[in-house]
Chain A
Amino acid sequence: MADSIRAFAVIAGAWVRASMTYRASFWSLAVGQALFTLVDFVAITIMFSHIDRLGGFDVAQVALLYGFSGFALGVADLLVGNVELLGRRVRDGSFDAMLVRPVAPLVQVAADQFALRRLGRIVSAVGVLGWALVATNIDWSITKVAVAVATLVSGSVIFCSVFVLGSAFQILAGDASEMMNAFTYGGNTLTQYPLSIYPSEVVKGVTFILPLAFVNWYPALYILGVEDPFDMPVAFHFASPVAATLLAAVAAGCWRAGVRRYRSTGS
């Protein structure tokens, strides 16, 4: 584990130095990433210029959901987002080279072309989250603070796992990075809004099949003191770390299975 982290830092560090060669490019891309995240939030505020509540949530409460989800996706995108390039590596054969190096292939795939500019996404998510914390009237307690911190970590782990699951799938299916977007960025868009606007089948799907609801929805219900419109068990409010751990285990299993079954393109 410690070796893997060190290897990740070495590879990622090299890419950071490389990107800093073109400083203007780096900054404009980082700002671009930040704006990308903000555009969706601007859209939400425009929606709220016509209504007071969306799915029973006011704009500050939606901002809280938005901030949690944006932070989680941002961290996952920064740390392991590049695994989506795996399909291309499988096609051009460069994944073969990674398998014979003495560093875990997942670490190499994630750290290769590490893009520090993606911090931009996290910065704007934190900005929205900060505003939400000020604008909502949360009755803070020690438990709520603990749940909030656990949510940030668990949400990031959940999105990291989704990225890894998608790349494991790509080992078998070839280049399917387009389809991954539906689950990663799509999952982010889905969880930017209160789940109360979706049909209950969707909510069950993101609770029991791909646990995206634990990125922000269940803990936010607890933090905001809002009643669950779908009457799910109260224990779910605190279950984000459990969901994250389970999904991470599944993702790790799928990744190993994928690598074991990998057959080089042979060229």
Chain B
Amino acid sequence: MVTGLSSIGVSTRVRLYAAVAVRGFRRYSTYRAATVGGVFTNTVFGVIIAYTFVALWEQRPNLGGYTQQEALTFVWVAQALIMPVGLLGGGILEEFAERVRSGAVATDLHRPTPLLWWRLAEDFGRAAYHFLTRGLAPVLIGALLFDLAWPRSVSTYAWFLIAVALAVGVGFAIRYLMGLLAFWVIDIRGYLALLTITQLFFSGMVLPLVIFPGWLRGLAEVLPFRCLVQVPADVLLHEGTGTEVLPLLALQLLWVAVLLFVGHLLTAAAVRKVVIQGG
């Protein structure tokens, strides 16, 4: 579509996207009851999964290279990431598909900002809200209930935040691509269900990928989904497990770049293809 932004200065552009991100944050912070309910639900699931991990690691200490403490930390980090990285779909995805179906996407395409970047900025705002609420709160409760492995050095937390930001980027790019499918397929709900299952399984959410059997782990490693949970968790746990941080972040960066680039190309294709209903 129109790339009118090229005539605008960089600082204006930064301010624009920051404003979009802030609106994304505020939009989700309106639903306080849903947030409280979500925190409760994430905590309940965290507790259940934590006990299954205790049972597993008690019999097999050091399974997958994790101590029991590290495995339990993994559980709570995974719970914290579900919403920010959009593991269950949701947010932008259904909304985007609905806007394509209803024709409201015409408004989006009229904006002098590319659809991809606008949506990315908005999703970062949403993710920040979900990380601060539905991410942190269950982790704090989990830390009270279980003995977790907290990294000692401050830099690890900084690396972890970068890894989370990149995970949000990968998560967004995957869902954006899926959302673009709505330009070609009327009802994408079936595809969404399949995507959600694949994401949950291959991100490490269901079980850490380090305990997958060989061939399945090999498959998980060539897919982008591990950037969503397993990689950020490994960045946080790296002091204990000896994983190097930089290659992990580079991997995430590579996937963000590739997926966003494909997203950029397909957006152009989708815009050429789109027929606005009722126009």
Give the interface of A toward B (CB within 8 A). 22, 24-25, 27-29, 31-33, 35-36, 39-40, 42-43, 46-47, 49-51, 53-55, 173-182, 186, 189-190, 193, 197-199, 202
Per-position binary interface string of chain B over residues 109-137, scored 1 when its CB falls under 8 Å from any chain A CB and 0 otherwise: 00000000000000000000000000000
A33 to B193, CA, bound (A): 8
Tell me whether B63 and A50 are in contact (CB under 8 A).
yes
- Closest A residue to B195 by CB, please name it: A32
Give the interface of B toward A (CB within 8 A). 31, 33-34, 36-38, 40-41, 44-45, 48-49, 51-52, 54-56, 59-60, 63, 186-187, 189-191, 193-194, 196-197, 200-201, 206-207, 211-213, 216
Tell me whether B45 and A43 are in contact (CB under 8 A).
no
Tell me whether A176 and B211 are in contact (CB under 8 A).
no
Name the B residues within 8 Å of A181 (CB-CB).
41
> Nearest Cβ in chain B — how far from A56, in angstroms?
10
Tell me whether A177 and B193 are in contact (CB under 8 A).
no
Tell me whether B52 and A47 are in contact (CB under 8 A).
yes
Write 20 A-B pairs (CB below 8 A) sorted by A numbering: A22-B187, A25-B189, A25-B190, A28-B190, A28-B194, A29-B189, A29-B193, A32-B190, A33-B193, A36-B193, A36-B196, A42-B201, A47-B56, A50-B211, A51-B56, A178-B34, A182-B45, A189-B48, A193-B55, A199-B51
Name the A residues within 8 Å of B60 (CB-CB).
50-51
Most buried by B among A24, A40, A178, A180: A178
Tell me whether B33 and A175 are in contact (CB under 8 A).
yes
> Nearest Cβ in chain B — how far from A44, in angstroms?
9
Tell me whether B207 and A179 are in contact (CB under 8 A).
no
A32 to B213, CA, bound (A): 24
Interchain Cβ contacts within 8 Å, total number: 104
A182 to B134, CA, bound (A): 14
Name the B residues within 8 Å of A25 (CB-CB).
187, 189-190
Given A25-B190, A32-B194, A39-B206; 16 other pairs, CB 8 A cutoff: A25-B187, A28-B191, A31-B194, A43-B206, A46-B212, A50-B211, A51-B60, A173-B33, A174-B33, A175-B34, A177-B37, A179-B36, A182-B40, A182-B41, A193-B55, A197-B51
A198 to B51, CA, bound (A): 6
Tell me whether A197 and B207 are in contact (CB under 8 A).
no
Tell me whether B48 and A190 are in contact (CB under 8 A).
yes
Tell me whether A46 and B211 are in contact (CB under 8 A).
yes
A242 to B60, CA, bound (A): 39
The 9 A-B pairs of least Cβ separation, nearest first, read A28-B190, A32-B193, A178-B37, A179-B37, A182-B44, A197-B55, A182-B41, A25-B187, A186-B44
Name the A residues within 8 Å of B31 (CB-CB).
175
- Closest A residue to B134 by CB, please name it: A178
- Closest B residue to A30 by CB, please name it: B190
Name the B residues within 8 Å of A198 (CB-CB).
51
> Nearest Cβ in chain A — how far from B49, in angstroms?
8
Name the B residues within 8 Å of A178 (CB-CB).
34, 37-38, 40-41
> Nearest Cβ in chain B — how far from A13, in angstroms?
21
Name the B residues within 8 Å of A189 (CB-CB).
45, 48-49
Tell me whether A179 and B41 are in contact (CB under 8 A).
yes
Tell me whether B37 and A176 are in contact (CB under 8 A).
yes
Tell me whether A40 and B206 are in contact (CB under 8 A).
yes
- Closest A residue to B192 by CB, please name it: A32
Cross-chain contact of B194 among A35, A50, A55, A186 (Cβ < 8 A): A35
> Nearest Cβ in chain B — how far from A138, in angstroms?
23
Tell me whether A47 and B207 are in contact (CB under 8 A).
yes
A202 to B48, CA, bound (A): 10
> Nearest Cβ in chain A — how far from B90, in angstroms?
11
Tell me whether A186 and B193 are in contact (CB under 8 A).
no
> Nearest Cβ in chain A — how far from B158, in angstroms?
31
